[in-house]
């Protein structure tokens, strides 16, 4: 029972962070499954993506209610992302026989996400300006949206973690969407990717439902609260803090790879 409660709390924490910052929460859940619970890389990826799906589901719902999502403008991103997720879910099956490479991929991805969070958080903190979002649709060319969606499908399919590190900056910096719209749209697009990746990994036999269920309960509750906090809470300091913490976590993953390689 104590372990069950710890998983719910961990899921809640990951979901709240995901709803607040527009990420799937995998940056919290994956280290817990891999380093604390001790799951092998492939099982950790398959179990993580299920919990991440519930993070994006709850966060998307909350951001949609807040008026931060226009699904019509996201169709090219969603379709391209689903195709990419399916392809890399099949590639994932190949690497399950070379699982230490999944650790390396996760570690490198986490390091990029962490650096992005620190830089973005510091930029927000320095400006100290609240952003007012007016338009909810994501503008941009069809080709650009397809390219962004295709890139975003790689991580959930291959590593079982989120695409907020790709979608949020792509929407905000390339397509010039307001930050709150970028965060809500990121969760909406990633929700479909996470669902597809979860389905693949479940039928491939890489999920541990006894661990996934309490995580999902926590993430679903936490993501709704994180989405509400997004309306009134400055995420700059959180981004800096978690960026530093998970930069350390990324090094732990890379060390796991080199430890297995020796």
- How many degrees, rounded to 5, is the angle at CA 76 between CA 70 and CA 81? 105
pLDDT at 139: 82
Domain ranges within the chain, ordered by starting residue: 2-261
pTM of the predicted protein model: 0.74
pLDDT 10s digits, 54-113: 888 888 888 888 888 889 899 999 999 999 999 989 888 877 777 777 777 777 776 877
Distances, alpha carbon 53 to alpha carbons 93, 145, 211, 213, in Å? 20, 22, 14, 12
Q: How far apart are CA 197 and CA 183, in angstroms?
A: 21
- Contact (Cβ atoms closer than 8 angstroms) between residue 66 and residue 231: yes
| Residue % of the chain over a pLDDT of 70 | 83
């Amino acid at each position: 029972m104590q372990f069950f409660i710890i998983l719910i709390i961990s899921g809640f924490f990951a979901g709240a962070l995901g709803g607040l910052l527009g990420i799937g929460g995998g940056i919290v859940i994956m280290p817990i499954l891999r380093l604390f619970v001790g799951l092998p890389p492939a099982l950790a990826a398959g179990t993580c993506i299920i919990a991440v799906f519930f993070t994006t589901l709850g966060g998307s719902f909350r951001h949609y209610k807040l008026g931060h999502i226009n699904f019509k403008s996201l169709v090219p991103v969603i379709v391209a992302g689903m195709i990419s997720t399916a392809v890399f879910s099949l590639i994932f099956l190949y690497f399950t026989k070379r699982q230490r490479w999944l650790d390396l991929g996760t570690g490198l991805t986490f390091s990029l996400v962490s650096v992005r969070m620190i830089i973005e958080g510091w930029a927000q903190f320095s400006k100290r300006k609240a952003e007012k979002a007016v338009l909810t649709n994501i503008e941009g060319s069809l080709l650009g949206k397809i390219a962004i969606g295709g890139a975003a499908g790689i991580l959930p399919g291959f590593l079982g973690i989120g695409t907020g590190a790709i979608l949020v900056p792509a929407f905000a910096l390339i397509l010039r969407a307001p930050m709150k719209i970028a965060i809500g749209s990121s969760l909406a697009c990633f929700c479909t990717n996470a669902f597809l990746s979860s389905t693949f990994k479940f039928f491939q036999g890489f999920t541990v439902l006894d661990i996934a269920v309490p995580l999902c309960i926590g993430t679903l509750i936490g993501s709704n609260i994180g989405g509400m906090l997004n309306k009134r809470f400055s995420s700059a300091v959180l981004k800096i803090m978690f960026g530093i913490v998970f930069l350390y976590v990324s090094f732990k993953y890379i060390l796991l790879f080199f430890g297995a390689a020796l």
